[in-house]
Structure 1
Amino acid sequence: MIKSSNGDTPFLLTYGTEAVIPAEIGMPTLWTTEIDLTKNNEALGMNLDLIEERREQAAIQEAKSKKKMEKYCNSRVRGTSFKPGDMVYRNNEASHARDECKLGPKWEGPYEVKESLGKGAYKLKDCKGNEIQRTWNICNLKKCYIHEV
């Protein structure tokens, strides 16, 4: 998976400065002892002036990262479609046909695709020719390969 960061903390993007934890205030450290208050106040003012620009850069970086992840995920998707007459299995968890234990069958069927309704929806019929009342999404179907002997 692709991960990236803009390098800024959420606290910095919200308040315009890095957080100082209470332990650093009570116990003198190099960072807290070497601060010049006038320069610090000027720097805080400049940070507040530039905070909008920093937020915009973070939003742009986030959009780029999301686009990159979307491209990565979409490249791994395998397109599948069924034609009328194809034999398929349907997911037992999706149909709730049988309430079985975890070792029960995951797929049931075979069923024949009666009609393609578009956008991955299908009407099915069983081996006896009875139409299944619900429509089925492509995510809950898989192709049935029947080998003839």
Structure 2
Amino acid sequence: MGGRTPLDLMGLPNHPRTSTGETPFRMAYDTEALVPVEVGLESYRTETYNVETNSFGLKANVDLLEEEREAAHQRNMRYLLQAAQHYDSNMKKRSFGVEDLVLRELAASMPAKQGKLQPNWEGPYKVIEVVRPGTYKLETLSGESIKNTWHASRLRKFYQ
């Protein structure tokens, strides 16, 4: 188990989170949690407990509290950035130009017509306007305008 007790794996307050590297209890109270099981068992923490040393240590922790929270915040921001980069690396970048022919996802345009044996895409449609990068206005090949805008994730290039 890599040095973890079964209690650590159950998600109790003494299990550090990946994003901050700190336990939720430590972030809230600036001290490590003592699990109820540890109170009844002999451990290094319970054997070496001294009231004076403990109160001095708690006062010292208060002085460092803001620095530790800032460090945890920085770790959390790095974690979120890495998660966003990982997500973005798996995204397929799609862009279309005016006059391109595209297929539209049927589940997005007509959810009621969805079914196992139904086609997944409908069209082709012509891109008539790029509203902003990734968002397009479409029209049918006969020139009838489609009223909604469509995101590139719901469109696919049509090849003749």
TM-score range (shorter-chain normalised) is 0.7 to 0.9
The separation in 2 between residues aligned to 1:77 and 1:95, in whole angstroms, is 22
Q: State how many pairs are aligned.
A: 144
Which of 103, 118, 135 is equivalent to 1:121?
135
SS at 1:116's partner residue? Answer: strand
**1:45-124 counterparts in 2 under 5 A?**
45-96=59-110, 99-124=113-138
> What's the CA shift for 1:129?
2.3
Larger deviation: 102-111 or 78-87?
78-87
User: Between the two proteins, what is the percent identity of the paired residues?
Assistant: 36
Quickly say closer, same or farther: Cα 1:73–1:100, change in 2 above 3 A: closer
Segments of structure 2 that go 5 or more residues without pairing to the other structure are 1-16
Instruction: Give the equivalent residue in structure 1 for 2:152.
Output: 138
Check whether the contact 2:139–2:145 (CA below 8 A) recurs between aligned residues. Answer: yes
Q: Indicate the RMSD between aligned Cα atoms, in angstroms.
A: 2.2
Q: CA deviation at 1:6?
A: 4.3
Deviation at 1:21, TM superposition (A): 1.5
1:6–1:122 Cα change, 3 Å: closer
Please give the alpha-carbon distance, in whole angstroms, between the structure 1 residues aligned to 2:82 and 2:88.
Answer: 10
CA distance in 2, matches of 1:77, 1:92: 20
Q: Give distance in 2, aligned partners of 1:21 and 1:4.
A: 20
Structure 1 gap segments, 5+ residues each: none
Query: Normalising to structure 1: TM-score of the pair?
Result: 0.82
Q: Which has the higher relative contact order, 1 or 2, with Cα contacts under 8 A spaced 6 or more apart? A: 1
Secondary structure in 2 matching 1:88: strand
